[in-house]
Amino acid sequence: MIGIDRIIENALLEDIHTGDITTQAVVPEKRSARAQLIAKESMVLAGIDVAARVFVLVNPEVVFSARFPEGALLSAGDVIADITGDAASLLQAERVALNLLQRMCGIATLTARYKQAVAGTGAKVVDTRKTTPGLRQLEKYAVRIGGGNNHRSGLYDAVLIKENHITAAGGLSVAVERARAFVPHTMKIEVETETLDQVAEALSAGADIIMLDNMDLEMMRRAVTLIAGRSLTEASGGVSLETIAGIAATGVDIISVGALTHSARAMDISMLLGE
């Protein structure tokens, strides 16, 4: 949790900085309070442990009790969690906790919709590196909670040979060869292709994963047929809730969706404070 703690501490410093002056001025010290987190719309719950951690880092004596587990499908009005402790602490943690939780639930909920759209096919829905700078770990976690899978975490933990790499290397096959010689044996080699000729070359070069980038459905189907299970196939580009079912029907193994993280809407959650 050390990495997560640093994210939360920085978020708290960003918001509270030199002090919550309204609370300091107005709220008597040592007043205890009770609060609830309430879902204002239906959603997939993701990030409840992170939200809890925000309160605890503000004040270790706050007690945070979640009523639902991660991944639960919530309805509008559901009480997500009960929180008790020092009133000022609850007020100071509120916004950071909600900002993180609303975003994570938004991503999980959107992922679940994409996942549902491909139900009945074997296609995995995966995220991309199009995440919020500083929050990638949390966002990729939310994708998993929503039923999706993760693509690589960054440039360091997987090989993805794109057009630009192929050009710079002087050819697809040589690029695959260099990658295989260089990277840990634990990593597969993925190659981006845009034409069937490139698919064929990637296949003969021994690519473990072939990305079918911005292909139309017809070409994608032919690529899948050509590959015939000899490598994993990943569809990429132009994926939306409208198009994903058609893409899945081509038989690709994996569909990567940037929108899961770069364009998810925050879910509506609020904190009600009583005494």
Q: How far is CA 111 from CA 13, 39, 45, 200, in A?
A: 30, 18, 12, 32
Distance CA 170, CA 158 (A): 21
Q: What CA–CA distance (Å, rounded) separates 120 from 251?
A: 11
Contacts of a second copy in 143-172 (CB under 8 A)? 144, 149-162, 164-165, 167-169
Asked whether position 103 contacts a second copy by CB under 8 A, the answer is yes
Q: Kindly state whether residue 56 participates in binding a second copy, applying the rule CB under 8 A.
A: no
Binding track over 13-32 against a second copy, x by CB under 8 A: xxxxxxxxxxxxxxxx--x-
- Closer residue to a second copy, CB minimum distance, 120 or 134: 134
Can you read off the two tokens belonging to residue 222?
């032919």
Could you give the 3-state DSSP secondary structure of residue 26?
helix
* 129 near a second copy, judged by CB under 8 A: yes
**Catalytic positions:** 95, 130, 162, 192, 213
Q: Is 188 in the site for a second copy (CB under 8 A)?
A: yes
Query: With CB under 8 A, what is the number of residues at the site for a second copy?
Result: 92
Residue 226 interacting with a second copy (CB under 8 A): no
Looking at 117, 209, 212, 257, which residue binds a second copy (CB under 8 A)?
A: 209
111 binds a second copy (CB under 8 A): no
Residue 122: which residues within 8 A CB-CB, separation 6 or more? 253
**Token pair for 150:** 């993760």
